[in-house]
Amino acid sequence: MIEIDGNSLSLEQVVQICRRYEKVRLAPAAEEPINRSHAFVNKILDEGRAVYGITTGVGELANTLISPDKAEDLQLNLIRSHATNVGVPFPEEVVRGIMLLRANALSKGFSGVRIELIQKLLDFLNARITPYIPCQGSVGASGDLSPLSHLALVLVGEGECIQDGRRQASVSVLREAAIPSLKLRPKEGLALINGTQVMTAIGCLVVEDAALLLKNAQIAGAMSLEALKGTSKALDAKIHAIRPHGGQVRCAANMRRLVEGSAIIASHVNCDKVQDAYTLRCIPQVYGAIIDTIEYVERVLQVEINSATDNPLIFADEEEVISGGNFHGEPLAFAMDFLGIALAEIGNISERTVDRLVNPHISGLPPFLTEESGLNSGFMISQYTAAALVSENKVLAHPASVDSIPTSAGQEDHVSMGSISARHAWDILKNVQQVIAIEFLAAAQGIDFHPLSPGKGTSAAHKFIRLHVSHLKQDRVLYPDIEKIIRFVKTGDIVRAVEAKVPEF
């Protein structure tokens, strides 16, 4: 059971709740500030004060006063009118992240909502209820308004859920789960939909997968280094000590451990070849920079998951309501654009390495990694697939955050497009997972042609791959092999096989 209080949630806990269905509850210490904040909203209503989103309209309609007796109607109207997202629905793990992070933000006690509303979100998580939230329609300020409105609809018994793979009316899903719907109080509709939790939920899952993908990429790169009879001299610690970017130093150390004891590399240590191509020689510099990028994104996300991001914010102790811009997704938009660019570079390096492996003019290996080329095409078209994926990534990696289209009659005249940044990073990640799978297969095939043994870590990876996919002696249908290795890339099975032999990797 994980407790949330708005201040101490970790990225690891987010993943546990999203993917492993860890139960969640509200920390008792969070109740008092939540209650104070809600009580002050009630005081505002009793005094008849004009406060944005409580007794006024929103956006361009902020100067339109709403009578106190219509305050609850306003909240329901907000979520109904704002639920306009389109496209395919977010998968369950993302929706769980959205619900968790919205509940955690509201738990900080600056949103004016009741404990009952937060508890309802936690009830959904614990009962594995998945609101239907289409993925397209947020401009990332004022937060993720439209997709969060689809979530809010389910709280009041409207909208839809995904149940058994089908869209179902939420009222029937809630009835079956014995969870009553909620009647929104003043400020609660706005508090539910004004935040960055969609882009942040995607970001938390993407950055988790990115770290695992980068481990896979280093293993595949080390295998390719051996298959192409590259040198390990470029991994020498002395080189990296005099340009000591943290990720570069760590990546070089990882690569040294992976190829430690390689008879293949030792066999040509005194050959005439002076330098390897950049795709082999510069892995620490490129993948190391990606390590640093992932750590930067993790820091941004760690701040965001414990932040209050709605508007206006309620400072009950000072009896003050402040309209600000914490809903603006720019910190997330920049981070996710940066992460997408970094992940695309993994694919760029990997695809170029696959090309070197299949190209007989530079590989020193049989043409297209097949014994009877001509009769067999071997891995020729696998490289085409990798090329197509990295080309697609070049479009996806264009920063969404450089664009802004004004909304709400110009009142919201600069928006972040952060949810687009997050979705693009997610798509790039999936493409690169597939490219790395192709490199794993090609590198394993290349190592097969060497009579000598690979290194300690690369040997473990090679044996694991060969346990599940046989050597390509004659042409066969390759997509099942690729799909199998993609699955191992995603689950981390190849990484675990290597870590059993190289635990410090």
Lowest mean per-residue pLDDT among 48-52, 214-218, 422-426, 475-479: 48-52
- Give the contacts of 74 (CB within 8 A, at least 6 positions apart): 57, 66, 186, 189
Percent of all residues in the chain with a pLDDT value above 90, rounded to a whole number: 85
What is the C-alpha to C-alpha distance for residues 112 and 61, in angstroms, rounded to an integer? 21
Contact 83, 153 (CB under 8 A): yes
Indicate the average pLDDT of the chain: 94
Q: For 57-89, give one letter per residue: b (16+ CB within 10 A) or e.
A: bbeeeeeeebeeeebeebbbebbbebbebeeeb
* DSSP secondary structure code for residue 66 in this structure: -
Outline where 359-407 has alpha helix (H). 360-363, 380-396
What is the C-alpha to C-alpha distance for residues 208 and 206, in angstroms, rounded to an integer? 5
Segment 321-339 shows an average pLDDT of 95
Contact 54, 61 (CB under 8 A): no
Instruction: Compute the Cα dihedral for 282, 286, 289, 290 and give only its sign.
Output: negative
Segment 7-30 shows an average pLDDT of 98
Contact 47, 98 (CB under 8 A): no
- Give the contacts of 174 (CB within 8 A, at least 6 positions apart): 129, 154, 157, 180, 181
Tokens 């794993």 sit on residue: 440
Lowest mean per-residue pLDDT among 142-146, 254-258, 501-505: 501-505
What's residue 120's pLDDT?
Answer: 97
The SS3 of residue 499 is helix
* pLDDT interval class at 274 (50, 70, 90): low
Lowest mean per-residue pLDDT among 189-193, 216-220, 267-271, 451-455: 267-271
Instruction: Compute the Cα dihedral for 228, 232, 233, 235 and give only its sign.
Output: positive
What is the C-alpha to C-alpha distance for residues 288 and 340, in angstroms, rounded to an integer? 15
CA dihedral 318, 324, 327, 333 (to 10 degrees): -130
Q: Above 80 in pLDDT, residue 51?
A: no
* Residues that are catalytic: 52
Contact 199, 97 (CB under 8 A): no
pTM: 0.95
What's residue 62's pLDDT?
Answer: 62
Rg of the chain taking only CA atoms, in angstroms:
26
Q: What is the maximum alpha-carbon separation in the chain?
A: 86
Contact 333, 400 (CB under 8 A): yes
CA nearest to 174, candidates 133, 135, 131:
131
The secondary element (H helix, E strand) that includes residue 25 is: strand 24-26
pLDDT tens-digit readout, 58-91: 766 666 777 777 878 889 999 999 999 999 999 9
CA dihedral 268, 274, 277, 279 (to 10 degrees): 60
Domains of the chain: residue spans and CATH: 2-195 (1.10.275.10), 203-308+343-499 (1.20.200.10)
Q: Above 70 in pLDDT, residue 400?
A: yes
Segment 80-106 shows an average pLDDT of 97
Give me the count of residues in the chain: 505
Q: Based on DSSP, count helices (H) and strands (E) in the chain, helices before strands.
A: 21, 8
Q: Above 70 in pLDDT, residue 3?
A: yes
Q: Above 80 in pLDDT, residue 144?
A: yes
Tell how far CA 152 is from the center of its chain: 23
Q: Above 90 in pLDDT, residue 255?
A: yes
What's residue 71's pLDDT?
Answer: 78
What's residue 264's pLDDT?
Answer: 92
The SS3 of residue 2 is strand
Contact 310, 36 (CB under 8 A): no
- The beta-carbon contacts of 369-372 under 8 Å, at least 24 apart in sequence, are 369/442, 369/445, 369/446, 369/449, 369/472, 370/472, 370/473, 370/474, 370/475, 371/473, 372/474
* pLDDT interval class at 410 (50, 70, 90): confident
Please report, as a single letter, which amino acid is at residue 433: Q
pLDDT tens-digit readout, 209-238: 999 999 999 999 999 999 999 999 999 999
* CA 411 vs CA 50, 144, 372: distances in Å: 19, 16, 67
What's residue 35's pLDDT?
Answer: 97
Segment 126-140 shows an average pLDDT of 96
Phi, psi of 437 (to 5 degrees): -60, -40
* pLDDT interval class at 272 (50, 70, 90): low
pLDDT tens-digit readout, 468-487: 999 999 999 999 999 999 99
